[in-house]
Structure 1
């Protein structure tokens, strides 16, 4: 594995390790909250000859550094199965009941993490074998959902009085949509990007149901924008104010990395 010269894993306690799990991928990155020059992202292909858990086991065992005692180890799960609960109403004992109410026959371990300045709790499920394996083989890992860093970032982005905002992130074969009134989250939804018509319909439907103003309110786009230009052109015919999200991470990231990195990764480095 190639690492930049300024990363020495013999001193792993200097760095933060984040592992990002998507349905079809495994990636990880190192960074330092103290040194903005420290950043390295790497994506690893999964073998179609192995199960998902066996792919993860192979990667962890082949690269022995994952179990090192980093300053912090975080596992980020990319999934459409999540529920957001305002912190005052969250009761961990009812996590399974809440998820069962929103999703039918959802399997795995129910996890949660805080987001948006600790005002919201994000509930999500993770494959039980994957969760158990990573808990055993990583150093005190924290498990988070991919929406968490996005909610923190979008919460205060270009906030204007009485204005509604809608954020659309294209990523990992999914579309994630978050809508706000000022800094108040109105809705959050992640669904497969199966067709141009479905994407356009869902976004237009959210604008209609939440009474967005097509002439005044703003639609912000991020992620794999170039792969969805036909959808974006359709949206521009419906909505006056369509902009790309401006991300300004504290770590030093190249222009090429800014173009290809998942939005939630960059957002985690902005807050």
Structure 2
């Protein structure tokens, strides 16, 4: 599906990668052009680790070899927890997260501060996968898949008294 994208201008584009246990997907979007959006999925090998699947995807997918203006990596996992911003402290990320979930080896706890909803989403992902993606995409931003939905629904809930 990437045949509509002109990769000579990839520095203008936004790349979003969704990581999930059931498969990966990515989209490329050019905010400056019409019809400059493509979406593609990548089937994972369930017998391999997430890191091995990511490494295979990065080497075999031509579209992921170009430089991009913005790179978003969305981690789809049930291991996330919201924390009110007033109770959040950077030094307490692991303590807050592992209060709600059992500790898992080789995992890193990340956070998304959601300004519109006044909440912080704590989420975990495989440490090796995070390291691999950070090395390949140094400017990447990591998000839990619930973060953009939370911001959207909070904004929607404040719009009048109609059905929501």
- Give the shorter-chain TM-score range: 0.7 to 0.9
Q: Which runs of 5+ in 2 are unaligned?
A: none
1:93-144 per-residue CA deviation (whole Å, 9 max, x = no partner) reads 1000001111122340010112252622111011011001100011411000
Q: TM-score, normalised by structure 2?
A: 0.87
Give, in whole Å, the separation in 2 of the partners of 1:101 and 1:45: 33
Aligned to 2:147: 148
SS in 2 for 1:156: helix
RMSD of aligned Cα (Å): 2.1
**What residue number does 2:26 align with?**
28
Q: Describe how 1:18-97 pairs up with structure 2 within 5 A.
A: 18-35=16-33, 37-97=35-95
* Count of aligned pairs between the two proteins: 162
Once the two structures are superposed, the pairs formed by residues 182-261 of structure 1 within 5 Å of their partners are none
**Which stretch of structure 1 is more off in the superposition, 122-131 or 148-157?**
148-157
Deviation, 1:73, is 0.4
Distance 1:102 1:48, change over 3 A: closer
Contact kept, 8 Å, 1:69 with 1:139, in 2: the verdict is no
Q: 2:123 maps to which residue?
A: 124
Partners of 1:92 and 1:67 in 2: how far apart?
33
Contact map agreement 1:84 1:122 (CA 8 A) in 2? yes
Q: TM-score, normalized by length of structure 1?
A: 0.55
